Structure 1
Amino acid sequence: MEEYRAAIDADPTSEYLVSALAELYAKTGRIRDAVVEAQDLLKKDPNNLEAHKLLSRIYLRSLGDMNAGSGSQSVLKLAIEQQQEILKLQPDSLDDHLLLGRLYRLNNDLQKAEGEFKTAVALQPDSEEAVTTLAYFYNEEGDTTRAAKVLNDVPDSGRSAKLYSALGYTYEQQKNYKGAITAYQKATEIDHDNLDAIRGLAQNLLNDGQNDAALQQYRIVADANPEDAETIVRIADIYRKTGKYDLALENLKKAGSMMQDSLEVPYSMASVYQAQGRYNDAAKVLDDLLKKTEKPDGNYSQGERTNRAVFLERLGTIYRDNNQDQLALDTFRKMLPLGDDSAQRGYQQLIDTYRDEKQWQQATDIAKEASEKLPNDRGLKMVYAAQLADMGQPDQGLQQVKALLKGTPEDREVYITLAQINSRLKRWPDAEQALDKADALSTKPEDKQYVAFLRGSTYERQKKYDQAEQSFRQVISSDPQNAVALNYLGYMLADRGVKLDEAVAMIKKAVALDPANGAYLDSLGWAYFKQGRYGEAEETLTKASQRINSDPTVQDHLGDLYLKTGRLKLAAQHWERALNEWNRTIAAEVDPGDVSRVQKKLETAKVKLAKEEGSDNKQ
């Protein structure tokens, strides 16, 4: 530095020497001196490109070292000013347009950011960096259609692994998982060692329900990087989803040894324990997580509040699955002070718990409380209205929902609720009309699928089985991994004793997608019964009863199974249990024909049992 100073004293007009000294100041951490020297240069020559670049680098480095706040905002503006000056002097610099765009994005000046990224693409249409940066910008703003167009405008011959990965990510955001799979496969063909692309491929295979193929890709990543704990967690998640719980736990323990401070690993372990029916173990893990992350002053960041709500919600469902309903209710109530979204979910879980226990008035009371405490939550208002309809005030409930219509695309959810309420009230024309309006407002494929599913359900309840089957097949054709539609159609076919092999295959697929779902297990057990596979039927129906023991349909199915296998007394007990559960159920959830049918079966069984008992007494 002394030598530079001496040289400058000898030649005070040398911009080169002053610039070199400023650069040296910056490299040695004397930032203030570097800024002063660079600014002095610009006073003498406002078009000194190297001085502008030096100031830009200094401000960018300072931004990286600062926390968010007013200071960082002022430095951001200084960095933007220098980049603007640089581009005046070299307007065709692709890298500088991209950098200025990123700075605008950081400053939340989205229109200017987009302009810089588009300029970069226009300057060099085949630039991988420019094209992917613009695409990711559109993705961040939720405009996946424009992101896909930017990427697809690049000819196939000019597409790199990075570009294909960006396209895969874009399709994933659109829930076009097959398109994402194809794009990520192209990326891995170009760059076999690109682990990020392999991860993207694995995730989208998983999204598409191709569990085995996803597992294979994740194993490639794990073999290449055995210390990649996140990938091991993903492998464990696949094992959990496919019911291989021991392998899931083995991998989670391995990941936990690498990520000892991880919250995700113990949370995932609790999910496995819950699926295994090890409710006490699951509850302990989550209780420990809550204690570990608890702050005595209750001063949580937004992320910490979100985590606590997730932990509490899972713990509450574990208690509910274990028939510890009061503990479940107490746990869900702890979600209410954690913020609007957490409170909304907490209220919904409270309502669901009361409904599961057939405590209809309590469910209605808590729905009313929720709609009053969170008056801006339209969803909770509709839940309360539906409760009123179930409790014998249908017109009031429907009127409250109709009052939420605004003549905008947001009306879709309102029409869906109107359809559901009218269907439960058996007002079929009104239900179908509401579905027509919801369908007209549905723009996404998954939204169309959901309306088609509800239409199928409405037809099935009217015993319009051919139309119902057509609607369900439409859903499954669009989404072969739709477990709800697979189960509904499979059960509908099995219950009528038609296409039994196909019915079993569909329900098995639903169970594979959600192994712990009691309703799916009931469907599978009933389909086995219809095929005469009584041993498998008993095993599966018993599992279903353990999951949803207050469901009258499961008890009815068990009764029929025990009758068929010569255990009349057990059959009568389960039919009686079914009738008791129906007696505790609101009218909207009861088919009078089912009740009458079971009542007759029970009466016949009681007469036969009485005769058998009388015969035994005579002997």
Structure 2
Amino acid sequence: MTIQVQEMPEVRFAPPLRQASESSYYYFTEAQIRLNRNRVLEAIGFLRQAVALDPQSAFLQKELAALLVRAGQPQAALQAIQRSRDLDPHDPDTLVVLAGIRQMLEQDIQELIPIYEEVIRLDPGRERIYLILGNLYIAQKQPAKAEETYRKLIAHHPGKYPGYYYLGQLLVLQQRYDEALDTFDVVIEIEPNLLEPYLERIKILSHKLTRSISVEIQEGDTLDALLVRHSGRPSPSLRRQAMALNPLLENVDHLETGKKILMPPRKNNPLVAQIREAYSHLLQMDAMPVEIRMDFAVFLRQTGEDHESMETMAALNDDDTREEVIRTVFSVFVENRRFSEAIFLLEGLRSHEPENPEILYALGLIHEEAGMRDKARKLYASISPDDPVYRKAVIHLAYIDQQTGQTEQGIQILEKAHFRNPEDMTIRLYLGAFYEETEHFEKAAVIFQDSLRTDPENQHIRYRLGVVMDKMGKKDEAIKEMEILIHQNPDHANALNYLGYTLTEMEIRLDEAEFLIRKAMEIKPGDGYITDSMGWVYFKQGKPAKALPYLEKANRLLPEDPLILEHLGDVYQALGKTDAARKAYEKSLLIQESSQIREKIQSLSTPSAEERKDIRP
């Protein structure tokens, strides 16, 4: 429960009547005119002159304080309101402004309590002040005082709901659930169309239900044994309920002793009926939030009402709510790995429209995330190629094939999609990436070149084309593409590094290579590959001592990269650090076999007997 403590009255300039002298009234009026024109600082100036002419006016001091707050000058406002209080210590409005300013200055909450207590003493009818004071007492861990305050509010305003509502929340904090339920019933009686008390009742009843159906697993317990003891005769329906109540339970055949599990409530459990009744009231409200309807669907599933649960979700399948439902399923259930509930809810959404492409795609994503790739594949494949969603689905289809070792099949899927939608840049990009991965470099180059003819400013595609040209051994063309890309975007760190490293490997234009790599490092200072390039260009320039710290840092950033380890070994060898070179080469070999590195190890001087013990055969 959070209540904003600060309550600042709006700056209002009513005629001061007898609260200010006639001479000060002129400046007060001028201040009002300036304020109406939104010239706040000028208004403050005129109001200060009014105060100077009538320094005994508590009203003017209070108005000045409120205006200084509006101008963002709380310290000056505090001085003004304190003078107003000195002149009229029994004005509740002055005390409210004083408390608000002190809160703005982040003064101790404890100091605000006596001020608000005094406001209530002077004006017992101020409903908002009771709520603020109650919140302050809760913040100070004084629940008895908070309860007393809320009950005083109820006594002064028995026909209004806020006192009962906040008292109910306090009773929940104190775990006085039955009293809280009675209090929220009063709120509903006073304000039957208010959403919050029904939700509070559902929370309390759900908590009580959870406590009543929570059991500890004993040694040797099985799910069926627990069902017999706590729920009834085991049946497929009861087992599904148990799984719905425990969505993170992975293995029902091996229950962990000592852990707690929720058992399906018996049919006559009164708490179930009370929760249903609370939801029924909510469902009759026009502004019933989608998320609450989904909560109701989950509750129905947990209590064995699968059909009604799916019907509840099916009612949410329209153009106004579908997107919100899918978003909520992912944010609440999928992110918490509650896949079975997520799938059930979306199947309910889908039940009256089985071919809806958005729902099919969302279900595919959930099954894929849950590791159920075959089912995900079927869902993606069931989307019509004519639907715009298919473009996203086809990419996931290809990735599933790639992950299951059927990359060529994934390529065929992307080729068909490309044939149907030849202008789709996303499909082109993924098809090119798959060609590149499977070393169909010529095909990849054609795809990327065609794409660049359509979109010559596409930096990602140009970068991939440069990489593919390099892999084809066409260094000059690779260099050309990277140079064009850097001209388009001088801060493209990956292109700067790629071109710099390529020049370094070719041992040409080494000064330019150093400049390019250094600039890349400035843009991405913590990148292990760029750091390696920096060290490597120094090595190629014949500066191994200068190269060493960069390659050691690159190795710390990417300790499992075999090429960086090889570079590090080369630098150690150039510096005469034979043992360190050997260790770097050997570690590289452990990660990736290389006849070239084996030759480098053999070229080193014969190790000592002690060193030989450390060399893995």
Q: TM-score, structure 1 length as denominator?
A: 0.47
Give the structure with the larger helix fraction: 1
Which structure: larger Rg?
A: 2
Q: TM-score, structure 2 length as denominator?
A: 0.47
